[in-house]
Structure 1
Amino acid sequence: MEQRTDNNLSPYRSFSRAEWAALREDAPMTLTSDEVTRLRSLHDRLDMKEVEDIYLPLSRLLSLYVTATQRLFRAQERFLGVEDEKMPFIIGVAGSVAVGKSTTARVLQALLARWPASPQVDLVTTDGFLFPNAVLEREGLMEKKGFPESYDLATLLHFLSDVKAGRRPARAPIYSHLIYDVVPNQWIEVNRPDILIVEGLNVLQTGRLPKDGKAIPFVSDFFDFSVYIDADEDVLKGWYVDRFLTLRGTAFRDPKSYFHRYSDLSDDEAVKTAVSIWERINLVNLHENILPTRQRADLILKKAGSHQIDQVSLRRL
C-alpha cells in the first residue's frame, strides 16, 4: 500500500511562482507602470512582473469565486422565495506587521475594479477599529496595540454585518498613522459595494469558543475569500527595521508625528529601538495571534526576502 505523505493530507494545493503565473491565461494587464508604483507601500518591491505573475492569476480566480457566489445567492433566494438586497463579496487580507498587506489590498482593489463589469470595490483597514489611544492608555493596552484586545470588535462586527446585509451607508472609522490614533468624528462611508476588501493583522482570528455553544460571530465569518501574506520571521524583522529607519528620516520628522521623538536617533540607536519594539510587541503578536490564523486562509502568499512571492497555496474545495 502506498504510504500517504503530509502533502496528501494538506488542505492546500501549492504552486511555485512559475506554476501560478501560468494560470493567468488571458487575464489582461489593466494597470500601468506608474499606477503600480503608486500602489506600492514603503519598502515593498512591487513591479509589473509581480502583478502579472501573482495578482493577475489571483484576479482571475476571484472573478470565478464572485460569479459562483452570486449564482449561489440567487439560487438561495429562489429556494427561500425571497428577494434580498445585493450581497457584497468580502475579501479578507491578513498577515504580520511589515509583510505588505496594504500593497496586496490596494493592488487587488485596483485590478478588481477594472473587471469588464466595472464593479465598485471598496477597501477598509481594521486600524480604524482600534480603540482610541485614550482608551488603550486607561486600560493599560498601549503596549498591546494591534493585539485582538485592542480593537473595538463590536463596532467592527456591526460594520461588517451592515455591509453584508446591504444597508447603506455603513461607516468605518479613520485611522491616522501620523498621530498613531483614530481620528475623531471622521469616517469612510461604504455604500453597498460589489466587493469589499478588509485588511488587518487579526482579521482571521477567532478567539475562544463559548462552552455553551452560544453563537458568537467572528470577523472572518463575513468573508467570502481570505488571503494570508506570509514570510519567515527573520525576513519580517529585517523589513520592520528597514521601514523604521526610513520613517525616522521622513514621517517621524513631522512634529505632529506620534513617533517624532525617534527622529533624532543615531543609526545604532534606531536599530536597537526598532528591534526592541519588534521583539517586545510585534513578534509576540505574530506568535500568539496572527501566525496561528494562517491555516484559516483560503490563499497563502509566501514572500521571499526579495519581497517577491515565490509560493502560492490555495485551499482545496
Structure 2
Amino acid sequence: MNDNHTCNQSKYSPYLTFTRSEWGALRQSTPLTLTEEEIANLQGINEYLSLDEVAEIYLPLSRLLNLYVDATQKLYKATHTFLNDQSAKVPYIIGIAGSVAVGKSTTARILQALLARWPNHPKVDLVTTDGFLYPNQILEQRGLMKRKGFPESYDIKRLLQFMADVKSGVAEIEAPVYSHLAYDILADEKQIIRQPDILIVEGINVLQPPKSEQARSTPQLFVSDFFDFSIYVDADEQQIMKWYVERFKLLRNTAFQNPDSFFHRYANLSDEEATQTALSIWREINLVNLQKNILPTRNRAHLIMRKGENHFVEQVKLRKL
C-alpha cells in the first residue's frame, strides 16, 4: 500500500525527479568550457565547486536552458516575421531563488559563465535583487533594519519597473548596486543592462507571491511574471544554518577586518563568540525569513536543485511542461 501511494505521488507530481547520476547523464556530449581555475574564481567563500559538480549538474542544466532559449528565439523570430516587425528580440530571463547562504550566487555565476559560451546567446548578464533593497536610511526610518531581505525591505515598484523595461526591449537600463562591505546601496554606482541575450536575476524572494487575500484578489504584477525559467536552490535547514555559520566565521577573518565594513565590530570575536553571534542572527532573522517567505515559494520554480553536504547537488526536480 505504501509503495502504491509513493508511486501515485510520483505519478501525479508536477515535477520529474532525477538522481544526481540520472541528471548527469543528460549532459550528453555538452563540452566542459570552464577551467578549474575559472570555477574556483566563481565559487562562494565557503564553497568547493569541483569539476565533477559542474559537469554532472551545471552542464546538463546549461544544455536544457540553451534548448529553451533557442526555442524561444525561434518562436520570437516566427512571430515577428508574421507581424513584419524588425525590432530587437527581448532577453530570456532566468530567476534564481533560495535561502541566504545556500549558494544562489555561485549557481548564478556558474550558469552565466556556461551559458555565455553557447554560440546563439553570447551576451549573458547577471543582476542581484540586493540592489533593489531600500537604502539603510529608509530601512531605519521604517524600523526594518532587522528585516533586511524580507519582502517589505525591497523597493518592489522599482524592481518591477526594471523587469518591465527589460522585457520591453529598452536599449539601456540602469540597475542599482548594493555593497556587502558597506551593507547598503551605493548611491553613485549603477549597473547598466544593454539588451543581453539572457538576463539572470538572483535573489532570495524573487518567486514571492502575494501575501494577503486582498492582494490576491487585486490584479497586479510580480517579479516572477517576467521569468521565462526559474530555479530554486534548496537544502535542509540545518545544513544551510551550518553553511551560514561557517561563512560568518570566514568573513570575520576576511571582509570584516576591513575598517570600512559594516560588520567590522565582529572582526575580533573569538570562535565561540562568532558561532553564537551567527546562530543568533540566523535564528532571529534568516531562519524566520526562510520559513515564512522563501521556502513557501519553492514549488513555484521550474527547477529545484536539492543540495546535500559540501554544496553537492543530490537531486534535481524539473517541472513537467
CA distance in 1, matches of 2:118, 2:130: 28
CA distance in 1, matches of 2:116, 2:81: 29
CA distance in 2, matches of 1:211, 1:37: 43
* 1:310 maps to which of 309, 314, 318: 314
Q: Deviations over 1:4-52 (max 9, x none)?
A: 6211111000000000000000111111110011001111111111000
State whether structure 2 residue 272 is matched by structure 1 residue 268: yes
- Contact kept? 2:95, 2:231, Cα under 8 Å: yes
- Contact kept? 2:210, 2:216, Cα under 8 Å: no
Partner of 1:250: 254
CA distance in 1, matches of 2:230, 2:132: 19
CA distance in 1, matches of 2:210, 2:144: 18
Q: TM-score, normalised by structure 2?
A: 0.95
RMSD: 1.7
Q: TM-score, normalised by structure 1?
A: 0.96
State whether structure 2 residue 189 is matched by structure 1 residue 186: yes
Q: CA deviation at 1:58?
A: 0.4
Q: Which segment is superposed worse, 161-170 or 116-125? A: 116-125
Q: Deviations over 1:217-261 (max 9, x none)?
A: 100000000010000000000000000011111110111000000
Gaps of 5+ in 2: none
Partner of 1:117: 120
* 2:226 maps to which of 217, 222, 225: 222
Tell me the matched-pair count: 317
Q: Which segment is superposed worse, 90-99 or 72-81? A: 72-81
Q: Deviations over 1:265-303 (max 9, x none)?
A: 111111111000000000000001100000000000000
Q: Against the structure 1 CA distance between its residues 2 and 168, is the aligned structure 2 distance closer, same or farther, given a 3 Å change threshold?
A: closer
Q: Deviations over 1:205-226 (max 9, x none)?
A: 0123646844211000000000
* SS of equivalent residue, structure 1 residue 140: coil
- Contact kept? 2:70, 2:120, Cα under 8 Å: no
Gaps of 5+ in 1: none
Alignment of 1:72-221 (within 5 A): 72-78=75-81, 82-117=85-120, 119-208=122-211, 210=214, 213-221=217-225
State whether structure 2 residue 65 is matched by structure 1 residue 62: yes
Partner of 1:238: 242
- Contact kept? 2:121, 2:197, Cα under 8 Å: no
- Contact kept? 2:97, 2:204, Cα under 8 Å: yes
CA distance in 1, matches of 2:91, 2:99: 26
- Contact kept? 1:112, 1:119, Cα under 8 Å: yes
